[in-house]
Amino acid sequence: MPATKGLNDNLAAFLTMIGKSEGTVDIPNSDDGYLVLVGGTLFHSYHDHPRIKVWIENLRGYSTAAGRYQILERYFDFYKKELKLSGPDYFCPENQDIIAQKMITECHAMSDIYSGQFEIAVGKCKSRWASFYGADYKGQHTNSIDFLASAYQQAGGTFA
129 belongs to a structural domain: yes
159 belongs to a structural domain: no
- Which residues 6+ apart lie within 8 Å of 73 measured at CB? 49, 51, 64, 66
Mean pLDDT of 119-134: 96
Annotated active-site residue in 22, 57, 94, 106: 22
3 belongs to a structural domain: no
pLDDT digits (tens, 9 = 90+) for 66-93: 999 999 999 999 999 999 998 899 999 9
2 belongs to a structural domain: no
Structural domain count of the chain = 1
1 belongs to a structural domain: no
pTM score of the predicted model: 0.94
CATH number of the domain within which 115 lies? 1.10.530.10
Domain hosting 26: range is 9-154
97 belongs to a structural domain: yes
The predicted pLDDT at position 137 comes to 80
The predicted pLDDT at position 1 comes to 42
Residue 47: CB atoms within 10 A of its CB come to 12
119: annotated active-site residue: no
